């Protein structure tokens, strides 16, 4: 059959228990409780073949994807990040970590910090306060598309237990790859007229995919040939080795630049138990949707014929797919891992079957006992998502403002009251109530802006994300919105234009807590969060080209409560000038 | 014949006289003497087709090459440069301008200033004190290769006259183009093992060349087809329109990343009158060599048959050429500019005929009355140029040190005595006198470093640039060395290893003053300059990939005499930290 050779290094599932026992024994001899975990990272470009076609990726310590961080709830991560790029700044965002008390460590260029200059080192030091499945990625220009990402797994604190049982676990970080480098993509997207980047060439699982061949060629009528792999290629799949009749946890996170995905394990059901670092009421599915910026844990039981192997597949949803399925193999020990499954890979739901997608999203409820949302809100911000033109270039705008980040980080500009740090006009909380979200806008022109939504500290904020028709008739896209510094409750998804009457549909009983939520085409999504984390926080579409084209806003709250911001974080732009003023040595 | 259509906008030669009269009249109504010339520049990537194959270039105000600056000696240039790149810093070096009293305006990242961050504006303000043919270009990473360059022409001060006559002038800025973008080139050059960028795809004259066709296809037996151009293409040649029986000045500057060039005008002799902004004793040539970093003015007389047009050609020298000649047309009015010359383009000297090259260099003497060098030196620095390995990566090293620039600009580190700004070990003034420059090194390993040659103020410095065998046997390359902040006298070129006895060959009578001088394969070049310009100054091989691989040193002198450095120039790295220290607002 295939030529997938077992690499024992990848056999992490079954031996996890033993490793944990050793690990726990070691901990007992060191310290009880939380630890400071020191990491030294160097970011540099390097040649790499994520899908067999060599290109350049942004690696960390010579690895792509970057190293997986494994910590326990309550630990402090102390990451010394050195920029070894030649002319580019860099930052890393710790996606899903709320950065309570450390807003300068959120890793968002122009918002929480200055980009780290080439040759410089910046220390990210923050607490991972909550167990869950997270990841990290670049948050400057399109450096996520360049491959700057990795997994961040937070186990429950010592002595605590997860509310579900499993015998082993695997980590699947999902991404999409373009052969055109991210700099050229930036130029294309910023051009007048805009040049769209198109669909990705390859879907990657843990940074690995196949472009010139297919693992499942014999099941398809495409022209791709069967992959002939030794297993040590950079683009060889990471095979998941399992024992029969066990339960495994799959930690799945999507850091795609664009693609919405559907994941399935051939012939295995999955039970969803975690979303974005929060426990959810378990529910069973045949396959699951995952949007960029989301993470999930699912449990599956190896209850199938152990003399076969099975496909794990990811497929594009929400956009007409031009990218082959991403695949890897679930290998039942002792079946040879190079035995290909005896049936085709899972067939994903039709790409534009949004009812299917909504059905999945609507199955997600907080686990009983999870924090409940406040029953009322202090402020409701309606955010209309539109595609627009500015001077002939295509942009995305929120309430007709397309975000262009300023050179001075908001955190410092607000803290020190620098008037010229950003637009002092507060962006609008509402859009014209006569706006027809089902049709292309009558006036398709928009403007640039970088104002801030200033939130009163400790108030409850409702955000209604309102989707609309894009520039072309009968087109409305999926946008997964990600909030920094907070989790929010997803109160409801709805169709068409939100009205006050839709409040009746809000789920205040057991809405899921998340950091990312999707808006469906021509629909709306209602979120609620408490503005209780002093800082300046990005809230944006997690599709990187959309953010690059302006699809985001900035929230800020409680900045007066921040005592001192490390000068390393804000020593650029106007804050840098201010801090240097009157301090010129002669 | 061809299809080169006249664009009247390009007809700058014959109408120059009239324009000048109008210009002078205007000046008379404004002010006598020097002016401050205000420019607002925005640097951004843009799609462009310099040779017919579309790529991305770094443009200024939407132009490639950047706008030509035209000023008069004594003028102040005030250039507000805004960085509209997405994640990259930027600086611009004003090549050949000595920056007397303004060392922070030299535009060298890590040496004279911090790179300008995206979204930020930096003001370059400096005097152009000396008439001549100059240019400007990026000096960070490989941004010159990305296309960040343009011409800077300084006319004599009002009321002054050039020491030669001409009826019109043209400006030819020469460069070379790779289809692989400069970021990918940087990664290739830094890789282990190093991947060499190879020869350029196209030679450009004023940013224009032809890749998919040839202007002279009918004269060649290559497979290239004859270009069919309307004249308004980005890659159409700029035609030089001349009147018969006039004398024209050609201002020629080479900002190539790699290529050494030979320039010729079919059937016309040229008289060299200026080199690097200094007048030289006129001499006549059939064709001329020009290395990266050099500039020349030549005069030619339109004394040929006016019913023909003539080629202007540039060809690669010093490396086995894999790049077609760069061509444009000298059009005798009223002959149609689309009439192709009736004979083939000039044949350049054999690429490796170094005797020919040396013969040209040895014809260059300062114009009678030019400043003469001091007859003795205070310090002699011997700089051995070698190709080496560091941890398996190929580098260039000077006295076995491969330059890696620090994140904090030297100018600030030295001024404020910051110990950790750079290596405090002074790099060596000499190399092992038993080193055999004719053979590959016995120990090919080198080390990184970033120490500074501290020069005593107002002392006379001799530099002996010593070439050597590169890594491969019987290979030694051309390196054009460029000094910032000064002109130097070129005292002599010699063969083999320099010995004290070679001092007898020094020309102290009329050596040319220049800012760039070449070392020939297996040879040496002796330079002398006076360290009379307070500042930190790069001295480096002007081949950009060689500089990227470490081929440079840093000189500094008189820094105590600099009163105050604008904080905008040094507000990064350790100087930024120092200036912000004790100044944290709460």
pLDDT tens-digit profile, chain A (586 residues): 343 433 333 334 444 444 444 444 444 333 457 899 999 999 999 999 999 999 999 999 999 999 999 999 999 999 999 999 999 999 999 999 999 999 999 999 999 999 999 999 999 999 999 999 999 999 999 999 999 999 999 999 999 999 999 999 999 999 999 999 999 999 999 999 999 999 999 999 999 999 999 999 999 887 889 999 999 999 999 999 999 999 999 999 999 999 999 999 999 999 999 999 999 999 999 999 999 999 999 999 999 999 999 999 999 999 999 999 999 999 999 999 999 999 999 999 999 999 999 999 999 999 999 999 999 999 999 999 999 999 999 999 999 999 999 999 999 999 999 999 999 989 999 999 999 999 999 999 999 999 999 999 999 999 999 999 999 999 999 999 999 999 999 999 999 999 999 999 999 999 999 999 999 999 999 999 999 999 999 999 999 999 999 999 999 999 999 999 999 999 999 999 999 985 554 4
Inter-chain CB proximity A119 and B571 less than 8 Å: no
Tokens standing for B2? 């061809």
Does residue A306 sit at the B interface (CB-CB below 8 Å)? no
Average pLDDT over residues B1-18: 40
Does residue A561 sit at the B interface (CB-CB below 8 Å)? no
- Alpha-carbon distance of B71 to A405, in angstroms, equals 36
In contact, A358 and A237? CB cutoff 8 Å: no
The reply to whether A169-361 and A379-579 are identical in fold is: yes
Give the phi and the psi of residue B416 in degrees, each rounded to 5. Answer: -100, 10
A523: Cβ–Cβ under 8 A, 6 or more apart, which residues?
A467, A493, A494, A495, A496
Tokens standing for A29? 């001899």
Kindly state the helix (H) or strand (E) to which residue A411 belongs, with its residue range: helix A410-415
Inter-chain CB proximity A585 and B416 less than 8 Å: yes
Domain range summary for chain B, segments of one domain joined by +: 33-161, 169-361, 379-579
Q: What is the pLDDT of residue B222?
A: 79
Set of chain B residues whose Cβ sits within 8 Å of the Cβ of A141:
86-87
B117 vs A191, A572, A578: nearest CB: A572
A141 vs B86, B564, B572: nearest CB: B86
ipTM of the complex: 0.93
From the CB of residue B531, how many other CB atoms can be counted at a distance below 10 Å? 24
The C-alpha torsion from A390 through A393 and A396 to A398, rounded to 10°, is: -10
In contact, B376 and B520? CB cutoff 8 Å: no
Give the architecture (CATH level 2) of B379-579: Sandwich (2.60)
Q: Is the pLDDT of residue B528 over 80?
A: yes
Angstrom CA distances, B533 to A561, B27, B373, B413, stand at: 50, 32, 16, 17
Interface test with B, best of A54, A117, A412 (most B CBs within 10 A): A117
Angstrom CA distances, B114 to A4, A226, B568, stand at: 51, 52, 8
Which candidate, A258, A293, A366, places its Cα nearest to that of A94?
Answer: A293
How close B517 gets to chain A, by Cα (Å)?
27
The separation between the first and the last C-alpha atoms of chain B, rounded to the nearest angstrom, is 75
Does residue B119 sit at the A interface (CB-CB below 8 Å)? yes
Give the phi and the psi of residue A111 in degrees, each rounded to 5. Answer: -115, -65
Does residue B393 sit at the A interface (CB-CB below 8 Å)? no
Pick the CATH number of B169-361 from 2.60.40.420, 3.40.50.2020, 3.30.700.30, 3.20.20.105: 2.60.40.420
The C-alpha torsion from B210 through B213 and B217 to B221, rounded to 10°, is: 110
Q: Is the pLDDT of residue B19 over 70?
A: no
Does residue A191 sit at the B interface (CB-CB below 8 Å)? yes
From the CB of residue A123, how many other CB atoms can be counted at a distance below 10 Å? 13
In contact, B572 and B408? CB cutoff 8 Å: yes
Q: What is the pLDDT of residue A222?
A: 79
Which candidate, B513, B537, B560, B465, places its Cα nearest to that of B93?
Answer: B537
In contact, A225 and A279? CB cutoff 8 Å: no
The separation between the first and the last C-alpha atoms of chain A, rounded to the nearest angstrom, is 75
In contact, B133 and B272? CB cutoff 8 Å: no
In contact, B535 and B103? CB cutoff 8 Å: yes
Which candidate, B419, B381, B415, places its Cα nearest to that of B401?
Answer: B381
Calculate the CA B199 to chain-centre distance.
18
Average pLDDT over residues B400-417: 97
Does residue B433 sit at the A interface (CB-CB below 8 Å)? no
Does residue A123 sit at the B interface (CB-CB below 8 Å)? no
CATH entry 2.60.40.420 includes domain B33-161: yes
At residue A305's C-alpha, the angle toward residues A304 and A308, to 5°, is 110
């Amino acid at each position: 059959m295939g030529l997938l050779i077992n690499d024992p290094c990848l056999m992490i599932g079954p031996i996890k228990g033993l490793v944990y026992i050793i690990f726990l024994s070691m901990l007992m001899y060191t310290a009880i409780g939380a630890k400071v975990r020191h990491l030294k990272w160097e970011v540099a470009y390097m040649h790499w073949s994520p899908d067999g076609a060599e290109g350049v990726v942004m690696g960390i310590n010579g690895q792509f994807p970057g190293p997986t961080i494994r910590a326990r709830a309550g630990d402090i991560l102390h990451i010394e990040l050195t920029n070894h790029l030649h002319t580019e700044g860099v930052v890393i965002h710790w996606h899903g970590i709320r950065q309570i008390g450390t807003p300068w460590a959120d890793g968002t260029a122009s918002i929480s910090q200055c980009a780290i200059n080439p040759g410089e080192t910046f220390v990210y030091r923050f607490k991972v306060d909550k167990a869950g499945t997270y990841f990290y990625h670049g948050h400057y220009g399109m450096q996520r598309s360049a491959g700057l990402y990795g997994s961040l797994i937070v186990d429950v604190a010592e002595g605590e237990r997860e509310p579900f049982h499993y015998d082993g676990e695997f980590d699947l970080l999902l991404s999409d790859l373009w052969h055109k480098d991210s700099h050229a993509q930036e130029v294309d997207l910023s051009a007048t007229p805009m040049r769209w980047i198109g669909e990705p060439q390859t879907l990657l699982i843990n940074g690995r995919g196949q472009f010139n061949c297919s693992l499942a060629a014999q099941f398809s009528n495409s022209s791709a040939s069967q992959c002939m792999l030794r297993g040590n290629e950079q683009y060889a799949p990471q095979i998941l080795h399992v024992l029969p009749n066990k339960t495994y946890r799959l930690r799945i996170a999507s850091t795609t630049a664009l693609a919405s995905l559907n994941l399935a394990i051939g012939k295995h059901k999955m039970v969803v138990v975690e979303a974005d670092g929060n426990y959810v009421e378990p529910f069973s599915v045949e396959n699951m949707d995952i949007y960029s910026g989301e993470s999930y844990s699912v449990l599956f039981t190896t209850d199938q014929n152990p003399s076969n192997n099975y496909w794990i597949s990811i497929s594009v949803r929400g956009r007409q797919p031009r990218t082959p399925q991403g695949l890897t193999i679930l290998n039942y020990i002792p079946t040879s891992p190079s035995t290909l499954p005896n049936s085709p890979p899972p067939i994903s739901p039709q790409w534009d079957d949004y009812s299917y997608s909504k059905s999945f999203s609507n199955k997600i409820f907080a686990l009983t006992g999870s924090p409940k949302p406040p029953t009322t809100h202090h402020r409701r911000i309606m955010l209309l998502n539109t595609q627009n033109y500015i001077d002939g270039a295509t942009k995305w705008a929120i309430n007709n403002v397309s975000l262009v980040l300023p050179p001075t980080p908001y955190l410092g500009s607000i803290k020190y009251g620098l008037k010229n740090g950003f637009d002092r006009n507060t962006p609008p909380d509402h859009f014209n109530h006569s706006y027809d979200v089902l049709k292309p806008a009558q006036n398709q022109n928009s403007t640039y802006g970088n104002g801030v939504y200033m939130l009163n500290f400790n108030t409850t904020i409702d955000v209604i994300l309102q989707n609309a028709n894009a520039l072309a008739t009968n087109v409305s896209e999926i946008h997964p919105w990600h909030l920094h510094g907070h989790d929010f409750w997803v109160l409801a998804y709805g169709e068409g234009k939100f009205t006050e009457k839709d409040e009746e549909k809000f789920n205040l009983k057991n809405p899921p807590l998340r950091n990312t939520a999707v808006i469906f085409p021509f629909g709306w999504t209602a979120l609620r969060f408490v503005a209780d984390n002093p800082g300046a926080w990005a809230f944006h579409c997690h599709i990187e080209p959309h953010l690059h084209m302006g699809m985001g806003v900035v929230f800020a709250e409680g900045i007066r409560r921040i005592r001192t911001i490390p000068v390393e974080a804000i020593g650029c732009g106007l804050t840098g000038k201010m801090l240097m003023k009157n301090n010129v040595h002669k």
